[in-house]
Structure 1
């Protein structure tokens, strides 16, 4: 066994089979012999820190005067001994408060108009501003300009060049639009939050199957992946011999950790397959234009994409992820949170009521409905944070 012989497994270990290439999570057997006395967490801390950037279009209910009075995002007290009220979205992270920093009073001022022709186009600039904090050029042509590469790509260039995928870009809504959008802005500004250069937007991944194949099909041909899916075989079937061989060399804790990880891989693979079968059955879909691997419900899609991100970071296939959870000015309705109005309508209603309503009760009711929508968003990314912090 590795923990007896003193030999260690390389951190970049892959289990390979036809149409599959599965990276491993961090195992104690990967710690070099000279560092066996180090704790697993201390050894991981010495590695490069991952970065996840998540955009919530239209903002959330904590980002307004009413939300501030309810302490939806800000702690009740500030400083190292900050206090989180029971309903705070980060309350679930209380056990990891020593690793938690909450930053308030940020904004995207560069999404505001700087000239008369730009008035009204805030929604069509904001995604381009999110990770660049630069004012995008007003154009519908190919002369795109956002001033600087986005934060995630700057980080990937510095810390992601030794991973199989320097960065991954995920999204939820249909972003396959070309040409010009409203207010004389190219749709490219709305379709992505990642820019490799001031003029080069990065494509986003909407289909969970595409992300899964990027993570676990690297090194195989499209024909091999197609054959595997046609046979309804799991990628784990193709690497079963290598898994069995490796298990003999691992200690009990590592075996349990690897088995749990492989179970998670299989579970996500199964969920994607079930969605593809359901969406290819010929039944009417809520999202008829979406690829077969895209779930029709927002909740299921979000959960699947976040679970894929956890696996990507756990195996260090990448250290840098950007996630666009919606398209600005979208009209999507979320029945999962009993909302009858699209998110953009709720956002606008809340702002209009705040400005013009004489009824505080009426205004607060709209904000509370907006907070219900916001909780849908917070629940998803908090679950991911808890998963990552427990690794």
Structure 2
């Protein structure tokens, strides 16, 4: 790689037919003759992390702003990032009220869902953004999950397809969920990644070392941090696969990629993959369904052996509070990963919006939707705030108004979306 080569803002390393994109490097501007860019010119990303069956209302609150913000126990793990948060209380999904199944299928679309065998809802906002940005990245969006989708019908006669998916490519088809971290990792770097017997870094090492000698000191740090992230994620995936292999029956051949047995490891690996996708600009949109609606997830590491949904009916008790805390901790982990990734004058978190949301405030109650945002979308979203819309009136606290506002800030302006035709005031 020569210094006079015309390089884009993203540097590509290639080896043995494999292509790997590095993070944004300030030195590449000098090579390509591009003018310096401001932090707002950096890529904007959006990710949604979802927990099914609601939260623990007594412990889900915030007061104040900035470094003086106070957080309820359910949000305690977010304390290091107070100035990067917007804790939003009182948002309302009009078409998401009235019980299970229907509330999850429209959490990102606000569409009215159809009962019975015919699946009919709306396109989710992450997929609208993916279409808008599809020419900008290798992978338009990542749709990840930690719990297997289910079929059949809820007693309300809404399909369980709605309960299992938050990302929808069209009104009748959800985007398939990737459950395997290894395959999600492979999807970022092309089909060849799954066939490599060694680390992908081994195939681009010479170019990476050559590049390090040509860039600024700050870019060397970025390259080293990124390559370390890739290596650590690979190691964790291999460790997970080895663990599976040791416990698999000897007369069966284990698939090349599997779903981790430990939910903690599963969630962290998925967060790591999203972080890599955003850091390398391989994708700018991601959803992660940690637990679906009517979730059957169990938590033996929390000494809880009953399923998630059953526990949610006692959502003020210590067991369900521990479940909610665990989910928020995964959100905090992803925030922390992105906050450590330098990009321009800020971080990848500064140029992103990470949303944590559930379909219910508590069991069967969609009149409030718990929602937290982290990150400033390249300076277009003010952070460090507690925002309360509960008493603003239903017309002024629509969840879809929030989505219109976020899509605006990412360059996709729509006259209406879901049940909203106005932006969320005060955001």
Aligned equivalent of 1:129: 106
CA shift at 1:86, angstroms? 7.9
Counterpart Cα distance in 2 of 1:215 and 1:139: 37
Aligned equivalent of 2:332: 382
Aligned equivalent of 1:144: 119
Aligned equivalent of 2:168: 195
Superposed counterparts of 1:64-75, under 5 Å: 64=57, 66-67=58-59, 72=60, 74-75=61-62
Q: Secondary structure at the match of 2:24?
A: coil
Counterpart Cα distance in 1 of 2:257 and 2:287: 23
Counterpart Cα distance in 2 of 1:290 and 1:59: 34
Q: In the alignment, is residue 276 of structure 1 matched against residue 276 of structure 2?
A: no
Q: Which runs of 5+ in 2 are unaligned?
A: 342-427
CA shift at 1:388, angstroms? 1.4
Aligned equivalent of 1:206: 179
- 1:242-264, CA deviations, whole angstroms, 9 ceiling, x for partnerless residues? 21222222222212221121111
Aligned residue pairs total: 336
Counterpart Cα distance in 1 of 2:29 and 2:208: 19
Aligned equivalent of 1:18: 16
Q: In the alignment, is residue 84 of structure 1 matched against residue 70 of structure 2?
A: yes
Q: In the alignment, is residue 50 of structure 1 matched against residue 45 of structure 2?
A: yes
Q: Cα distance 1:81–1:377, how it changes in 2: closer, same or farther (>3 A)? A: closer
Q: Cα distance 1:267–1:162, how it changes in 2: closer, same or farther (>3 A)? A: same
Q: Secondary structure at the match of 1:123?
A: coil
Counterpart Cα distance in 2 of 1:81 and 1:342: 37
Aligned equivalent of 1:240: 205
Counterpart Cα distance in 1 of 2:255 and 2:120: 29
Equivalent position to 1:303, from 268, 280, 284: 268
Q: Cα distance 1:327–1:100, how it changes in 2: closer, same or farther (>3 A)? A: closer
Q: In the alignment, is residue 344 of structure 1 matched against residue 309 of structure 2?
A: yes
CA shift at 1:281, angstroms? 3.0
The answer as to whether partners of 1:26 and 1:315 remain within 8 angstroms in 2 is: yes
Equivalent position to 2:227, from 262, 270, 274: 262
Counterpart Cα distance in 2 of 1:197 and 1:274: 37
Counterpart Cα distance in 2 of 1:344 and 1:281: 32
Aligned equivalent of 1:118: none
Q: In the alignment, is residue 162 of structure 1 matched against residue 136 of structure 2?
A: yes
Counterpart Cα distance in 2 of 1:174 and 1:265: 26
Deviates more, 1:129-138 or 1:7-16: 7-16
Equivalent position to 2:188, from 198, 215, 218: 215
The answer as to whether partners of 1:22 and 1:215 remain within 8 angstroms in 2 is: no
The answer as to whether partners of 2:77 and 2:328 remain within 8 angstroms in 1 is: no
Q: In the alignment, is residue 185 of structure 1 matched against residue 172 of structure 2?
A: no
The answer as to whether partners of 2:62 and 2:72 remain within 8 angstroms in 1 is: no
Q: Cα distance 1:26–1:12, how it changes in 2: closer, same or farther (>3 A)? A: closer
Q: Secondary structure at the match of 1:24?
A: strand
Q: Cα distance 1:291–1:126, how it changes in 2: closer, same or farther (>3 A)? A: farther
Q: Secondary structure at the match of 2:19?
A: strand
CA shift at 1:112, angstroms? 3.0
The answer as to whether partners of 1:279 and 1:292 remain within 8 angstroms in 2 is: no
Taking structure 1 as the reference length, the TM-score comes to 0.77
Aligned equivalent of 1:112: 97
The answer as to whether partners of 2:95 and 2:111 remain within 8 angstroms in 1 is: yes
Q: Which has the higher strand share?
A: 2
Taking structure 2 as the reference length, the TM-score comes to 0.71
The answer as to whether partners of 2:100 and 2:154 remain within 8 angstroms in 1 is: no
Q: Secondary structure at the match of 1:325?
A: strand
- 1:38-77, CA deviations, whole angstroms, 9 ceiling, x for partnerless residues? 6xxxx3322342111111101111xx2x23xxxx3x3223
Determine which structure has more spread, i.e. the larger CA radius of gyration.
Answer: 1
The answer as to whether partners of 1:8 and 1:29 remain within 8 angstroms in 2 is: no
Equivalent position to 1:27, from 13, 25, 28: 25
Q: Secondary structure at the match of 2:49?
A: strand
Q: Which has the higher helix share?
A: 1
Counterpart Cα distance in 2 of 1:88 and 1:274: 31
